[in-house]
Amino acid sequence: MHEIKESSSPAEVERERWEQQTLEPALDKHPERKQSFQTVSLEEVERLYTPADISDLDFNRDISFPGEFPYTRGIHPTGYRGKLWTMRQFAGFSTPEETNTRFKYLLDQGQTGLSVAYDLPTLMGYDADSPLSEGEVGKCGVAVSSLADMEVLFDGIPLEQVTVSQTINAPASVLLAMYLVVAEKQGANWTKISGTLQNDILKEYIAQKEWIYPIKPAMKLVVDTFEFCTERVPRYNPISVSGYHIREAGATAAQELAFTLRDGIEYVAWGVEAGLDIDRFVPRISFFFNAHNDFFEEIAKYRAARRIWAREMKSRFGSNHERTLQMRFHTQTAGVSLTVQQPLNNIVRVAIQALAGVLGGTQSLHTDAYDEALALPTDRAALIALRTQQIIAEETGVVNTVDPLGGSYYLEALTEKMEQTALEYFRKIDAMGGMVAAIEKGFPQREIQDSAYHYQKAVERGEQVIVGVNKYAMTDEPAEVPILVIDESVRTHQLERLEQTRTRRDSGAVANVLEKLKTAARKNENTMPATIDAVRAYATLGEICSALRDVYGIYEEPAF
């Protein structure tokens, strides 16, 4: 008989007994398949989780009920029994006309919200006719250079009724202005429109790298949108703090969680510093996470995210306002996990990742199309992606009860570990002086690069399996799938409209509003009113960003 330590809990005693009586003989007969089992983030996973692994957790303090602090089990007391998540497929390609047609098609198929993907020139604040835009117009998203494009993009789509998410960051305030002016022209009341602007500039410096201005003025533009929306567009979410791109750049699940939430804290701190009332603007801050392959790790990440956010809003900022403490988030399946090889396998990956998002309690979801490792999705691939969500919602039964995996020893232990890892990162970043300072030092960037490299090596050693790539590869692949091709005629089409816009507008008025915008930027006033006036006068995106570049300068990435 082994001696039992005096300090051992009954759960630990039982666990030791099981190990000796049952496990060890079984291991002697059938050794495990490998020495170490790891998540996709290369985190070690134990053989078994028991009550001993969650003995430090207190149900009321750490897990609790849905709709109550710390919201580990979700922000709605009824989960998805009341309202399903919003099925919001990210779409955008080619001309505004083409994307408008895709939007209408998706709405006809039962999609419940829209999400706009802009092309690279738009993301970088260049017009379609800039020499830097050559070869990129309409390729990775829809091309928008002025209000004239935005009018076509939302033609026949009532913005007071449909919520629209816009993936735009460095020039976000300009695209928000265009959106508001289109809504106004439709006769919509700004106080009634809802939707989301990504507007998360910190993750651009960290991961996605579509920046324009240096960090501090870029943060000022973000705070301008917070202030403007709080007063004038109160139902609109002026930011979606995004871990998605951080993860795609190679971060582990815990790094995605830590950096995204610390970014969120940074935005709150800047808003509070600017004199905004925390309980008026923070309730409109939303989040955006990745859904990667490791099922439980992802669910733990979402549950930990809600818990950390609620606790941090309380402990750092002293808020007790329910809506400030409740984290709402969008989820997208992991583009980086999709393979070019045997592309139909991606349908299965996406379904499992989407299920993790749902079991994590996401408010809205985008499911990637199976052909997205090859190109932007075809209609057919986009439809299957939407149907995947509808099958999860209508057929699997996972929506019938709130947080169905809550209480799982493994999941609760993993949720706790996620939280602790994130808090450790918070301590490091706080010690550097906050997230802006940490980014200037290259800290999150280096952490992510290291993780990306270790993951690549683990794949090359065969420790991380990618079906169809480093295992079960086929030399004779099944027939190729059709892909969407965007040709250079898009550029010609866009250049024509841009030319017309420049001819028809009152150029004196444009020069005037651009000068007003520069003055507002120089005086450190809120830039939104002047941006809206510039958009109304049909100043182009490139002209507006160029005016702000004159005042703010441009960002140069340090080498690290």
Partner 1 sequence: MSNRKIRVLVAKPGLDGHDRGAKVIARALRDAGMEVIYTGLRQTPEMIAAAALQEDVDAVGVSILSGAHNTLCPRIVQLLREKGMNDCLVLVGGIVPQEDLPKLKEQGVAEIFLPGTSTEDIVKFLQANVKPRE
Residue 439 interacts with partner 1 (CB under 8 A)? Answer: no
Residue 123 interacts with partner 1 (CB under 8 A)? Answer: yes
**Cα dist. 471→166, 190, 217, 345 in Å?**
38, 53, 48, 13
Residue 380 interacts with partner 1 (CB under 8 A)? Answer: no
* Binds partner 1 (CB under 8 A): choice among 24, 480, 506, 525: 480
- Dihedral sign from CA coordinates of 429, 432, 438, 442: negative
The residue range among 121-129, 234-242, 298-306, 516-524 that interacts with partner 1, by the rule CB under 8 A, is 121-129
Distance, CA of 460 to CA of 469 (rounded, Å): 10
* Binds partner 1 (CB under 8 A): choice among 127, 149, 204, 403: 204
Residue with tokens 């100043």: 539
Positions in 481-540 near partner 1 (CB under 8 A): 483, 485-486
Q: Which is nearer to partner 1, 197 or 375 (CB)?
A: 375
**DSSP-derived pairing of the beta strands 364-366 and 113-117:** unpaired
Positions in 233-262 near partner 1 (CB under 8 A): 248-250
Give me the least distance between CB of 112 and partner 1, in Å please: 29
Give me the least distance between CB of 427 and partner 1, in Å please: 27
Give me the least distance between CB of 284 and partner 1, in Å please: 27
Residue 370 interacts with partner 1 (CB under 8 A)? Answer: no
Closest Cα to residue 16, out of 27, 1, 38?
1
Give me the least distance between CB of 434 and partner 1, in Å please: 23
Positions in 394-433 near partner 1 (CB under 8 A): none
Residue 374 interacts with partner 1 (CB under 8 A)? Answer: yes
**CA atoms within 13 Å, Cβ hemisphere of 199:** 29
The residue range among 260-268, 273-281, 421-429, 452-460 that interacts with partner 1, by the rule CB under 8 A, is 452-460
The residue range among 194-202, 208-216, 274-282, 531-539 that interacts with partner 1, by the rule CB under 8 A, is 208-216
* Binds partner 1 (CB under 8 A): choice among 46, 160, 379, 460: 460
- Dihedral sign from CA coordinates of 274, 118, 162, 190: positive
Residue with tokens 């080498």: 559
**DSSP-derived pairing of the beta strands 236-237 and 364-366:** unpaired
Give me the least distance between CB of 476 and partner 1, in Å please: 15
* Binds partner 1 (CB under 8 A): choice among 466, 467, 495, 551: 466
The residue range among 29-37, 117-125, 142-150, 402-410 that interacts with partner 1, by the rule CB under 8 A, is 117-125
Give me the least distance between CB of 535 and partner 1, in Å please: 22
Q: Strand 86-91's sheet: what is its strand order?
A: 236-237, 195-197, 164-167, 113-117, 86-91, 364-366, 329-333, 285-291, 239-242
Torsions phi, psi of 265, nearest 5?
-60, -40
Torsions phi, psi of 37, nearest 5?
-115, 130
Positions in 135-164 near partner 1 (CB under 8 A): 135-136, 139-140
Q: Is 165 helix (H, G, I), strand (E, B) or coil?
A: strand
**CA atoms within 13 Å, Cβ hemisphere of 307:** 26
* Binds partner 1 (CB under 8 A): choice among 54, 282, 375, 520: 375
Distance, CA of 386 to CA of 88 (rounded, Å): 9
Residue 449 interacts with partner 1 (CB under 8 A)? Answer: yes
Start-end of H helices in 433-475: 435-440, 443-460
- SS3 per-residue string spanning 243-285: CHHHHHCCCCHHHHHHHHHHHHHHHHHHHHHCCCCHHHHHHHE
Give me the least distance between CB of 365 and partner 1, in Å please: 23
Q: Which is nearer to partner 1, 32 or 134 (CB)?
A: 134
Residue 390 interacts with partner 1 (CB under 8 A)? Answer: no
* Binds partner 1 (CB under 8 A): choice among 38, 100, 339, 390: 339
Start-end of H helices in 143-240: 147-153, 172-185, 202-203, 215-232
Positions that interact with partner 1 (CB under 8 A): 120-121, 123-124, 126, 132-136, 139-140, 204, 208-211, 248-250, 336, 339-341, 373-375, 449, 452-453, 456, 460, 466, 469-470, 480, 483, 485-486, 557, 559
